[in-house]
């Protein structure tokens, strides 16, 4: 090949300028035998201590129990080795699995049609916003400040390229979206959609009531219902029941572990009216030429491989394997099992809230009912960051510092409890907070003398 | 292939029937025949302002998805709601029950850019060769 291209040597062909070339050999240790390398890596792995922490972290990433049957099926080679099938109809098994995922998402959201999944909840929201822009011809989105901050950031990223205005609705004193000024905001009919999340970022049930739904719809504005904690769908009303034209959410809670930031699996569901605007792949059930049930990709006209210049989205692949895990998880639990798991989340969170607020100085920041997260205000004079740092020294990841996104809530912590949170862990948190409160009190006492 | 009289035609195979200030728009029989079985028509919104020769929707058939162009500019006053449940109306009666939408004309003079029946007939006959 060198002769063909007229180069004398490989070095001549790929000549790296001296200014950027590394002089001398690379500074890497000598090669190790496989067994020694294994031992060395195990040593590094042992330095990870996070697994030993008691965790109350949630905020969009949730720990749930996953029955072993889920992974033993999902990890089968037939599923694991299949990337997006390009000759899709050959992979009837995978298409059936995707069809079942779509069916579950429709049942959980109460909507007519769901796609084969998107990257995550945040991109599901952004893609849904684009759907509403295309449906209404309007170029602004009104989003509640109680929607997950990262979701709103991704929405703004998408909006920048499309030249959409993103405006926010404030939060009320109870931790829910403040709709009091809604009519005035909607009056000029420039918003394509109002975006609300329930449970919202503070864990509060934030489904808009009938008056709000009617006010939004009367201006031709659509409602996007965001669900960042899919487990809540086992206990709370479906987005369709609170007026959502589109449900955009995160399905990680269904069998997908929290693993250093991913992978996640987003879902989008909508009404029949908007089905032709839904991005990504859709699987439909049909019959083949012998009358047997067959699964096919359908409604592809807006996908980029059919009409590239008219595509409404750049989603071409999806989180098929994560969606498969979620599908098997839902099949394993069934409707009754999912409901029981969701109710356990409610119970553990109630226990968590009761234990934490029993500690002097700690109180609930918001009065609205919650699902599996609760916002706690730390004692006066302390910050959330101080409390969390102290808990961490005692082996407890005590939640998320809300000051990171909401400056006015710098004395507030967002705590999560799920069915895997034990009573002993909640008691350990309560004891650690009590020690913190006692120290604060004696420090104050000293200071006032 | 004779084209119905009293209508005007675009080179994108839309027809226009002007009735005072308002015109009815559809696609021609030649167009529906080329597309094959139509399964979906995406129409403009009532109240939407459209410009002449702009792409404002799609016609989806079992074999292709085609843009829908406007033969004339104006404000959309009505869309054929029957097409939602029965898009094949366009196949069965392209010049009649399969009409797409009605538009209140911005500038009736724009119709001078359109073809008369004999001209359109020559255009499609030429295109067929």
Q: pLDDT per position in chain B (129 positions), as tens?
A: 578 888 999 999 999 999 999 999 999 999 999 999 999 998 998 988 999 998 888 898 887 888 899 999 999 999 999 998 999 999 999 999 999 999 999 998 998 999 999 999 999 988 755
What is residue A88's DSSP assignment?
G
Which three-class secondary structure state does DSSP give residue A86?
Answer: coil
Asked whether residue A13 is domain-assigned, the answer is no
Note the pLDDT tens digit of each residue in B23-60: 999 999 999 999 999 999 989 989 889 999 988 888 98
* ipTM reported for the complex, 2 dp: 0.71
Interface test with A, best of B35, B41, B60 (most A CBs within 10 A): B60
- Please indicate, yes or no, whether residues A221 and A366 belong to a single structural domain of this protein: no
Distance from CA of A276 to the nearest CA of B (A): 9
- What are the chain A neighbours of B45 within 8 Å (beta carbons)? 137
Asked whether residue B2 is domain-assigned, the answer is no
- Please indicate, yes or no, whether residues A162 and A56 belong to a single structural domain of this protein: no
Which three-class secondary structure state does DSSP give residue A270?
Answer: strand
Put simply, whether B64 touches A (Cβ < 8 Å) is: no
Please judge whether B40 and A276 are an interchain contact, meaning their C-beta atoms are less than 8 angstroms apart.
yes
Asked whether residue B1 is domain-assigned, the answer is no
Asked whether residue B100 is domain-assigned, the answer is yes
Total domain count, chain A: 2
State the pLDDT at residue A290: 94
Distance from CA of B94 to the nearest CA of A (A): 23
CATH of the domain at B82: 2.40.50.100
Distance from CA of B45 to the nearest CA of A (A): 8
Domain boundary among A269, A298, A330: A330
The dihedral of CA A298, A302, A304, A306: what is its sign? Answer: positive
Q: CA distances (Å), A16 to each of A1, B114, B115, in order?
A: 19, 62, 64
Total domain count, chain B: 1
Asked whether residue A29 is domain-assigned, the answer is no
- Please indicate, yes or no, whether residues A342 and A434 belong to a single structural domain of this protein: yes
Put simply, whether B37 touches A (Cβ < 8 Å) is: no
- Please indicate, yes or no, whether residues A76 and A219 belong to a single structural domain of this protein: yes
Q: Pseudo-torsion of CA B15, B18, B21, B23, nearest 10°?
A: -30
Nearest CA in chain B to A135: B45
The beta-carbon neighbor of A307 closest among B40, B48, B65 is B65
Q: Tell me how many residue pairs between chain A and chain B have CB atoms under 8 A apart.
A: 13
**Are the beta carbons of B62 and B39 closer than 8 angstroms?**
yes
**Are the beta carbons of A225 and A231 closer than 8 angstroms?**
no
Asked whether residue A1 is domain-assigned, the answer is no
Distance of CA A24 to the CA centre of its chain: 46
Domain extent at residue A359: 51-62+334-448
Note the pLDDT tens digit of each residue in A230-272: 999 999 999 999 999 999 999 999 999 998 777 899 999 999 9
Q: pLDDT of chain A along its 449 residues, tens only?
A: 888 988 888 888 888 888 898 888 888 989 999 999 999 999 999 888 766 799 999 999 999 999 999 999 999 988 887 665 667 778 888 899 999 999 999 999 999 999 999 999 999 999 999 999 999 989 999 999 999 999 999 999 999 989 999 999 999 999 999 999 999 999 999 999 999 999 999 999 999 999 999 999 999 999 999 999 999 999 999 999 999 999 999 999 999 999 877 789 999 999 998 988 898 889 999 999 999 999 988 877 666 566 666 677 767 667 889 999 999 999 999 999 999 999 999 999 999 999 999 999 999 999 999 999 999 999 999 999 999 999 999 999 999 999 999 999 999 999 999 999 999 999 999 999 999 999 877 776 665 55
In DSSP terms, B65 is beta-bridged to: B60
The beta-carbon neighbor of B48 closest among A137, A276, A310 is A137
Nearest CA in chain B to A303: B65
- What are the chain B neighbours of A307 within 8 Å (beta carbons)? 65
Asked whether residue A194 is domain-assigned, the answer is yes
Distance from CA of A161 to the nearest CA of B (A): 22
- Please indicate, yes or no, whether residues A120 and A180 belong to a single structural domain of this protein: yes
Distance from CA of A299 to the nearest CA of B (A): 10
Report d(CA B31, CA B54) in Å as an integer. Answer: 17
Interface test with B, best of A282, A301, A309 (most B CBs within 10 A): A301
Domain boundary among A309, A330, A351: A330
CATH of the domain at A153: 3.40.640.10
- Please indicate, yes or no, whether residues A57 and A118 belong to a single structural domain of this protein: no
In DSSP terms, B27 is beta-bridged to: B14
**Are the beta carbons of B118 and B51 closer than 8 angstroms?**
no
Asked whether residue A30 is domain-assigned, the answer is no
- What are the chain A neighbours of B67 within 8 Å (beta carbons)? 310
- What are the chain A neighbours of B48 within 8 Å (beta carbons)? 137
- Please indicate, yes or no, whether residues A127 and A98 belong to a single structural domain of this protein: yes
Asked whether residue B98 is domain-assigned, the answer is yes
Distance from CA of B2 to the nearest CA of A (A): 33
State the pLDDT at residue A446: 60
Report d(CA B58, CA B81) in Å as an integer. Answer: 15
Please judge whether B65 and A301 are an interchain contact, meaning their C-beta atoms are less than 8 angstroms apart.
yes
Nearest CA in chain B to A302: B65
- Please indicate, yes or no, whether residues A357 and A379 belong to a single structural domain of this protein: yes
- Please indicate, yes or no, whether residues A167 and A304 belong to a single structural domain of this protein: yes
Asked whether residue A3 is domain-assigned, the answer is no
Report d(CA A321, CA B50) in Å as an integer. Answer: 44
Please judge whether A276 and B65 are an interchain contact, meaning their C-beta atoms are less than 8 angstroms apart.
no
Please judge whether A276 and B42 are an interchain contact, meaning their C-beta atoms are less than 8 angstroms apart.
yes
Order across the sheet with B8-9: list the strands. B8-9, B14-19, B22-27, B101-105, B74-79, B49-50
Domain boundary among A285, A305, A330: A330
B82-87 LR contacts (CB < 8 Å, sep 24+): B83/B41, B83/B43, B87/B38, B87/B39, B87/B40, B87/B41
Domain extent at residue B53: 8-128
- What are the chain A neighbours of B65 within 8 Å (beta carbons)? 301, 306-307, 310
Interface test with B, best of A277, A307, A312 (most B CBs within 10 A): A307
- Please indicate, yes or no, whether residues A414 and A301 belong to a single structural domain of this protein: no
pTM, full prediction: 0.85
- Please indicate, yes or no, whether residues A112 and A221 belong to a single structural domain of this protein: yes
Asked whether residue A9 is domain-assigned, the answer is no
**Are the beta carbons of A108 and A233 closer than 8 angstroms?**
yes
- Burial string for A234-264 (b: 16+ CB within 10 Å, else e) reads bbbebbbebbbbbbbbbbbbbbbebeeeeeb
Asked whether residue B20 is domain-assigned, the answer is yes
- Please indicate, yes or no, whether residues A321 and A347 belong to a single structural domain of this protein: no
- What are the chain A neighbours of B42 within 8 Å (beta carbons)? 276
Distance from CA of A304 to the nearest CA of B (A): 13
Nearest CA in chain A to B85: A273
The beta-carbon neighbor of A137 closest among B40, B45, B60 is B45
**What are the φ and ψ backbone dihedral angles of B97, each rounded to 5 degrees?**
-60, -15
Nearest CA in chain A to B46: A136
**Are the beta carbons of A249 and A226 closer than 8 angstroms?**
yes
Report d(CA A302, CA A132) in Å as an integer. Answer: 15
Of residues B122, B116, B67, B59, the one with CA closest to residue B91: B59
- What are the chain B neighbours of A310 within 8 Å (beta carbons)? 58, 65, 67
Instruction: List the alpha helices (DSSP H) in A86-200.
Output: 92-109, 121-136, 149-162, 182-186
Distance from CA of B46 to the nearest CA of A (A): 11
């Amino acid at each position: 090949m060198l002769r063909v291209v007229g180069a004398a040597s490989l070095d001549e062909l790929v000549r790296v300028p001296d200014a950027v070339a590394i002089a001398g050999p690379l500074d890497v240790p000598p090669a190790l035998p496989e067994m020694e390398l294994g031992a060395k890596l195990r040593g590094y792995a042992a330095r990870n201590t996070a697994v030993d922490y008691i965790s109350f972290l949630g905020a969009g990433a949730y720990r749930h129990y996953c029955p072993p049957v889920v992974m033993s099926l999902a990890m089968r080679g037939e599923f694991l080795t299949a990337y997006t099938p390009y000759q899709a109809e050959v992979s009837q098994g995978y298409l059936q699995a995707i069809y079942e995922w779509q069916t579950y998402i429709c049942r959980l959201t109460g909507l007519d049609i769901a796609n084969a999944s998107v990257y995550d909840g945040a991109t599901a929201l952004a893609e849904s916003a684009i759907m509403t822009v295309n449906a209404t011809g309007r170029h602004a989105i009104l989003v509640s400040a109680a929607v997950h901050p990262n979701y709103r950031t991704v929405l703004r990223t998408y909006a920048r390229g499309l030249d959409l205005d993103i405006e926010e609705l404030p939060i009320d004193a109870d931790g829910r979206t403040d709709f009091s000024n809604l009519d005035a905001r909607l009056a000029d009919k420039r918003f394509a959609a109002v975006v609300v999340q329930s449970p919202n970022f503070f864990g509060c049930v934030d489904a808009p009531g009938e008056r709000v739904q009617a006010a939004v719809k009367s201006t031709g504005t659509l409602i996007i219902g965001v669900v960042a904690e899919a487990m809540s769908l086992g206990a709370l009303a479906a987005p369709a029941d609170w007026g959502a034209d589109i449900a955009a959410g995160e399905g990680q809670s269904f069998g997908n572990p929290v693993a250093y930031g991913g992978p996640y699996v987003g879902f989008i569901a909508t009404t029949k009216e908007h089905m032709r605007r839904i991005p990504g792949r859709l699987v439909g059930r049909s019959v083949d030429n012998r009358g047997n049930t067959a699964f096919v990709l359908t409604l592809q006209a807006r996908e980029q491989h059919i009409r590239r210049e008219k595509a409404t989205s750049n989603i071409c692949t999806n989180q098929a394997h994560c969606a498969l895990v979620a599908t098997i998880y839902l099949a394993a639990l069934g409707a009754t099992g999912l409901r029981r798991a969701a109710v356990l989340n409610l119970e553990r969170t109630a226990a968590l809230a009761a234990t934490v607020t029993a500690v002097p100085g700690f109180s609930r920041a918001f009065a609205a009912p919650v699902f599996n997260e609760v916002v706690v205000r730390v004692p006066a004079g302390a910050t959330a960051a101080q409390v969390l740092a102290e808990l961490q020294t005692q082996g407890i990841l005590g939640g998320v510092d809300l000051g990171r996104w909401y400056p006015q809530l710098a004395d507030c912590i967002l705590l999560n409890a799920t069915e895997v949170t034990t009573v002993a862990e909640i008691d350990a948190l309560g004891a650690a907070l009590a020690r913190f409160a006692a120290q604060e009190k004696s420090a104050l006492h000293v200071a006032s003398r | 292939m004779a084209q119905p009289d009293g209508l005007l035609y675009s080179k994108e195979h839309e027809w226009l029937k002007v009735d005072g200030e308002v015109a009815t728009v559809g696609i021609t029989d030649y167009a529906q025949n080329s597309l094959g079985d139509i399964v979906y028509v995406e129409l403009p919104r009532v109240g939407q302002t459209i410009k002449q020769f702009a792409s404002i929707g799609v016609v989806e058939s079992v074999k292709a998805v085609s843009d829908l162009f406007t033969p004339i500019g104006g404000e959309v006053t009505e869309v054929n709601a029957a097409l939602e449940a029965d898009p094949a109306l366009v196949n069965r009666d392209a010049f009649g029950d399969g009409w797409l939408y009605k538009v209140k004309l911005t500038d009736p003079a724009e119709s001078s850019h359109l073809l008369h029946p004999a001209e359109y007939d020559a255009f499609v006959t030429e295109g067929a060769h």
